[in-house]
Structure 1
Amino acid sequence: MNEVMARLRQFRDDRDWKQFHNPKDLSMALSIEAAELLELFLWKSPEQADTNKVKEELADVIAYALLLADHYDLDIEKIVIDKIALNEQKYPVSKAKGKATKYTEL
């Protein structure tokens, strides 16, 4: 992950784009890229989506998420592990296994 972050920062800094990478704009870019990812599946079955395009759009989503986390100096591994722990409480196996129900309705 360190190499990925170093490459993202270098790419951004070489172009003097850090000035545009505030949390609001990074969040908006992330949302836009996520919508572009969704568009690849629109009116298709999941199997019909072009895997190479999915790869590209997913990379954009991940890159903007990483840059946003970097802006706030967040530890990606820690925040994901913490979120999994929270979800384990909200979705105990005994109630959630095999169900797509929201935790408030379990």
Structure 2
Amino acid sequence: MDGSLVLHGLNIVYELATLTLTTLGLAIVFGLLGVMNMAHGEFVMLGAYCVVTVQGWGWPLPTAFPLAVVVCGALGWAVERWLIRPLYARPFDTLLATWALA
């Protein structure tokens, strides 16, 4: 089998896994909170950016993942606490607020 074909297959698997995890995150947030989070992709991008930045500082990869979780968790908590929580009774407003955040 050609090496580029194997690499292409691995890239497809990686993309499908990323889309699956993002979709599951959206489904869990909507199922538990009833909020359509339009900024979900930005949180995924922020986590990836944290990992790349920490690796750019010369830190090892196992250190970068927990830091990305902490940064995304802190930002997600702040957004939920001060932006989404006051709007729980109005689902359309939460949709607009998270869209504006994105």
- TM value normalised by structure 2: 0.29
- TM value normalised by structure 1: 0.28
User: Whose helix proportion is higher, 1 or 2?
Assistant: 2
